[in-house]
Amino acid sequence: MSQYLVLSRIKVQNANCIAGFTWGFPAITHFLGFTHAMQRKLSSDYDITFNGCAVVSHNYQLHVYKPNPRASYEFIQSKNPPVLAKHKNAVSAPIIEEGKMNLTVSMIIEISKELVTTTEQIEKFKQAILDQCLTSRLAGGSILSVGQVDLLSASTEEQFSKLNRSVKRLTMPGFVLQDCSAYLKQHFEQLKEDNPDAQVLDAWLDFVAMKYQANPKLKDGEQECTLETDAEWELLPKPAKGWLVPIMTGYKAISEKYATSEVGHLRVSEDDPSVTGCCFVEAVHSIGEWKSVHRVTSIGEMIWRYHYDNDWYLCRQAREQPDKEHVITDNESQSFENAIANL
């Protein structure tokens, strides 16, 4: 039997929208961290294990502005450094730039150790989940409300089909974040064929950066372009189709492991038996795709899970290759009947 916990329409205020080199949406590590924290809080009352989670975005509002129409976006900051009366002539303390956002998301949490309970116990469990959500933080933001808490189970193929339809109805309309690292790997291999010195960063930037190419307009009789030759600038397409975005998917250790007593200012207790040490890390980036929920064929391909490999601490999905055949481009459309049939 498989069980999933669906938290619909979680409204979060002042969440962190900076993830490594990128900004615009919290890193997937925030949501898996929230899932792990929820499991630890419930472990004293319930013998339960959360294996991973899926993230569905419904709405968002970034705290940014433009100083003028031609400028880039800047974060709205609140600078309130503490200044004592005896330090009236002191220079105002600097602040670290923070990016905040309000968002509404749904989470689908995979339960690997199932609960076998009665209807009354299920209602009590759902209320415990709701109480823990409202007293927790998600991506550093405050949870204002949770629309609905549902516990869904399936053990047969027919029940799995019904479960998929139930999850879609609970999370539509929305867009689920999926891993497209296979696109990055494939594009990097193509770059290596043309340029043996190409780096993974070059392939990643092809998905991230907006690149333009100048097509010179040669006049009659001109064989080569000069500095005076007019040109038409063309936006180069991304290496693959889809709503592709840069994402942060984990961390890579860059130091040896230290005991908690060897590193100062840690936000952990030395008496906590679950803390075995610490090390310094760097963010790991990849490529993701926002896909409409109605196009997802199985819940399993939506779930992000932890993956450990020596110094690598990653978040992955159980997907071999992105589904290229069913990518809907800007020029394609679906009929209402086909969209309903895919639910």
> What are 239-296's pLDDT values in tens digits?
888 889 999 999 999 988 888 778 877 777 666 666 778 889 999 999 999 999 988 8
Over residues 156-181, the pLDDT tens digits come to 888 888 888 888 899 989 999 999 88
User: Which residues lie closer than 8 Å to 256 by C-beta, 6 or more apart?
Assistant: 279
Reported confidence tier of residue 333, pLDDT bands at 50, 70, 90: very low
CA 75 to chain centre: 20
Instruction: Tell me whether residue 20 is in a domain.
Output: yes
- φ/ψ of residue 337, rounded to 5: -65, -40
Instruction: Tell me whether residue 343 is in a domain.
Output: yes
Reported confidence tier of residue 85, pLDDT bands at 50, 70, 90: low
pLDDT value at position 324?
A: 37
User: Which residues lie closer than 8 Å to 18 by C-beta, 6 or more apart?
Assistant: 98, 99
Q: Which structural domain range is residue 159 located in?
A: 1-64+97-179+290-306+322-343
pLDDT value at position 231?
A: 84
Instruction: Tell me whether residue 170 is in a domain.
Output: yes
Instruction: Tell me whether residue 72 is in a domain.
Output: no
Contact present, 90 and 129 (Cβ < 8 Å): no
Instruction: Tell me whether residue 270 is in a domain.
Output: no
User: Would the pTM count as exceeding 0.85?
Assistant: no
Peptide linkage before 173 cis (omega within 30 of 0): yes
Burial (CB count within 10 angstroms: exposed 0-12, middle 13-18, buried 19+), residue 228: exposed
Instruction: Tell me whether residue 12 is in a domain.
Output: yes
Q: How many structural domains is the chain composed of? A: 1
Q: Which two tokens stand for residue 340?
A: 């309903």
Instruction: Tell me whether residue 122 is in a domain.
Output: yes
Instruction: Tell me whether residue 120 is in a domain.
Output: yes
Distance from the first to the final alpha carbon of the chain: 22
Contact present, 14 and 142 (Cβ < 8 Å): yes
Contact present, 111 and 4 (Cβ < 8 Å): yes
Reported confidence tier of residue 334, pLDDT bands at 50, 70, 90: very low
For the chain, the 3-state helix, strand and coil shares in percent, each to the nearest 5, are 25, 35, 40
Residue 5: which of 174, 176, 102, 133 has the closest Cα? 133
Residue of 15 and 225 predicted with greater confidence:
15
Q: Which two tokens stand for residue 4?
A: 């999933």
